[in-house]
Amino acid sequence: MTSLIKTDGRVVAALDASSYTFSVAGTAAWAASRLGAPLTLLHAIDRANSGSSEDLSGSLALGDREVLLEQLASVDAERARLAQARGRELLDLARERLAEQVDMEAECRLRHGALVDNLLDIEADVRLFVVGKRGEHADFAKAHLGSNLERVVRAVHRPVLVAARAFKAPRGFMIAFDGSATTAKCVEMVVASPLLAGMPCRLLAVGDAEPRGFQAAAARLREAGFEVEAQCLPGTPDTVIAAEVERQRIELLVMGAYGHSRIRQLIVGSTTTTVLRQCNIPVLLLR
């Protein structure tokens, strides 16, 4: 049978200049250590979001336009140089901190272009992506998710570990189980990977009735050596999952990633998005 998970490849941490930077790096280092995988720190410089100078030269005289265009080109070149210097400094600082604090070596990659495109370019050599819940431009007061997060999770085909704002090595985890083929596969992926091996597991279903395959999933986890507490609770999934994470002091949540219907998700929302916004712990999203 074909393995449900990629058993080789790198852990890649996507870093930006947000308050999540060192948490993402620390979470990725923890995951790389658990998986026995090499670690890469990646920073993407997206020109589309770099604030390049607006061309206001259309109504100017020819001589004035030439001078202005030269000035704009000079400004853009300086902005690009500063963005590269900033990116290198960010990567170097994160790498040095990991070397000092957890004795973990990391490769640094500075790339140009949109983050999603860069992650897809290197995906074949990646075992796990680690990203922050929010980027440097997110509105923390409104608990908005980072603009790249949903795009990354929907685009890539590898597991994505969404880091919390502060890193703490998890000592246990919870799987949100809904009886779908995706969450059944999540259980098999947890069993097949060393990432969470040996940790106590809470298996949670939410609804009026126990979902199909719930007891089989609990048995599968126990058979693989996990200590499992399984429970089905009434209510709506996004509300109950978030409440149980807080009440049980869960340190890592495992969920299925977004569904395939992009239009439907835009219309009715998503449990995944709501839980990500409400839970202040790392969330491992599996397909």
- Provide CB contacts within 8 A for 145, sequence distance 6+: 133, 134, 138, 273, 276, 277
Q: Do 34 and 138 sit in the same domain of this protein? A: yes
Looking at residue 196, its pLDDT comes to 97
Looking at residue 7, its pLDDT comes to 77
Looking at residue 55, its pLDDT comes to 52
The answer to whether residues 174 and 250 touch, using CB atoms and an 8 Å cutoff, is: yes
Q: What is the CA radius of gyration of the chain?
A: 22
Residue in 66, 63, 17, 68 with CA at minimum distance from that of residue 44: 17
- Provide CB contacts within 8 A for 23, sequence distance 6+: 132, 163, 164, 165, 166, 167
pTM to 2 decimal places? 0.85
Average pLDDT value over all residues in the chain = 85
193 pLDDT band (50/70/90 cuts)?
very high
Q: Do 74 and 135 sit in the same domain of this protein? A: yes
By mean pLDDT, which of 44-53, 85-94, 125-134, 209-218 is the weakest?
A: 44-53
Is 109's pLDDT higher than 70? yes
CATH code: domain of residue 94: 3.40.50.12370
Q: Outline where DSSP puts E strands in 113-158.
A: 126-132
Q: Do 271 and 133 sit in the same domain of this protein? A: no
Looking at residue 275, its pLDDT comes to 85
Q: Domain residues for 270?
A: 170-287
The domain tally of the chain equals 2
Average pLDDT for 10-23: 94
The verdict on residue 3 lying in a domain is no
Average pLDDT for 44-69: 62
Q: Do 139 and 15 sit in the same domain of this protein? A: yes
CATH code: domain of residue 182: 3.40.50.620
